[in-house]
Amino acid sequence: MFDFLFAKKEYLSCEWLEYGILFNYDGIFHCCEFIHGKNYIPVAEVNLNNDYNFKTFFKEKEKARKNIRKGIIPKRCIGCNKPKIGVWNKKLQIKNIAISSVAKCNCDCIYCPNHRIRKQVNNIKDVPVYNFLKNCIDKKLISPDCHIEWGGGEPTIADEFDKISYLLLNNHLIGDFGVHSSGIKYSEVLVKYIKEWSKKEYRSVMDNSKKSHGIIISVDCGSRELYKQIKSFDNFDKVWDNIARYCEAQADYQSDVKVKYIVIPNLNDSIEEFEKFLKKAIESKVKWVIIDIENQWFNKNIHNEEKLKHYIVIIKNMEKLCKKYGLKQTYYSSFCYLIDKYHNFYDSI
């Protein structure tokens, strides 16, 4: 009779706002979503000791969660496709972590937000996150099924890469986990992840075709010339060799090493280039390909239906080619947003 008193209230919110944290090299943020033409939601800047202010983080997180329970949505969330009506835990647990605390990179992609300031950015010190993570693990603040994405700069050259990796490995936090690497540096620690993922406990998440986990390397082309144009350096052979070595380390599953193709309009958007890329992937024993559309172009053209639909057709043809070659294929954030928005059109092609 009094069930209604105990029923949990549903409300509009999102996984990141409720449970997420992005460690960026210039501050902490609620989320790492960038796909709706706006910026991440800042929580606190990196302080003068090159550290994050976690007191502020938890205070702001609780404030944002309280507000959203009252229906107050942060301005920057308006237009994002992530919020959904649901029942959300009142107790704060961290279930989404994005690590981008390192700015430096051993590559220089033309689409990187830091491309024009690469030299300066490569001098920015990494912000340490190990102590915070360890603290949260010790206090059981991180959910065992936490989703973790480790991205750029380049994780494998981060000062704390090994230390954090072993912390995650030893605490079984690598089940819902992706590392985005340029593939230029061969890393034994990445091999350690690959070996660990072969355990039964990780397979259902790792093989989930809706998720893009494992080691993700964006090569974006199948020819050396284009590689140099996109990445600024000639590491074409080195990267494909490293991909082949990682694939060799995989168990029978062969799905933990994924190569990504970011479609850059007017540069690598031909089906011929994509086919060359697929052939290199197959030669390296890759089984899973991820496709996305370049983010800066996407943000500029977010309201240009004609252009967006043009690229939906191109990318759908790329998807068909993956099928023809027997490769698993998924999409990444910006293109997922497009499919969401134009699902009837996408289905009709």
316 touches ligand SF4 by CB under 6 A: no
Figure out which of the listed residues 28, 43, 77, 179 binds ligand SF4, where binding follows CB under 6 A: 77
| Number of H-type helices and E-type strands within the chain | 15, 12
User: What 3-state DSSP class applies to 6?
Assistant: helix
Q: Which is nearer to ligand SF4, 107 or 322 (CB)?
A: 107
Q: Give residues 91-130 in contact with ligand SF4 (rule: CB under 6 A).
A: 105, 107-109, 112, 114
Residue 181 identity: S
Which of 165, 142, 293 lies closest to 218, judged by CA? Answer: 293
Binding mask 131-170 for ligand SF4 (x = CB under 6 A): ---------------------xxx----------------
| Residue 50 beta carbon to ligand SF4: minimum distance, rounded to whole angstroms | 19
Q: Which is nearer to ligand SF4, 202 or 295 (CB)?
A: 295
- What is the b/e burial string over 99-133, where b = at least 16 CB atoms within 10 angstroms of the residue's CB? bbbbbbbbbbbeebebeeebeebeebebbbbeebb
Figure out which of the listed residues 56, 60, 69, 83 binds ligand SF4, where binding follows CB under 6 A: 83
Distance (Å, whole) CA 27 – CA 56: 11
302 touches ligand SF4 by CB under 6 A: no
The DSSP line for 103-146 is: ---S---TTSTTGGGHHHHTTSPPPP-HHHHHHHHHTT-EEEEE
Q: Which is nearer to ligand SF4, 24 or 202 (CB)?
A: 24
Number of residues near ligand SF4 (by CB under 6 A): 22
Secondary structure of 212-237 in HEC code, one letter for each residue = CCEEEEECCCCCHHHHHHHHCCCCHH
The torsion angles phi and psi of 263, rounded to 5 degrees, stand at -75, 120
Q: Which is nearer to ligand SF4, 202 or 263 (CB)?
A: 263
Whether the CA torsion 228, 230, 231, 236 is positive or negative: it is negative
Structure tokens at 285: 């024993």
Stretch that binds ligand SF4, among 12-20, 88-96, 206-214, 335-343 (CB under 6 A): 12-20
| Residue 182 beta carbon to ligand SF4: minimum distance, rounded to whole angstroms | 4
Q: Which is nearer to ligand SF4, 202 or 246 (CB)?
A: 246
Which secondary-structure segment (H or E) carries 148? strand 142-150
Structure tokens at 155: 């994780």
Q: Give residues 40-69 in contact with ligand SF4 (rule: CB under 6 A).
A: 41
17 touches ligand SF4 by CB under 6 A: yes
Figure out which of the listed residues 182, 235, 295, 329 binds ligand SF4, where binding follows CB under 6 A: 182
16 touches ligand SF4 by CB under 6 A: yes
Residues engaged in binding ligand SF4 (CB under 6 A): 14, 16-17, 30-31, 33, 41, 76-77, 80, 82-83, 105, 107-109, 112, 114, 152-154, 182
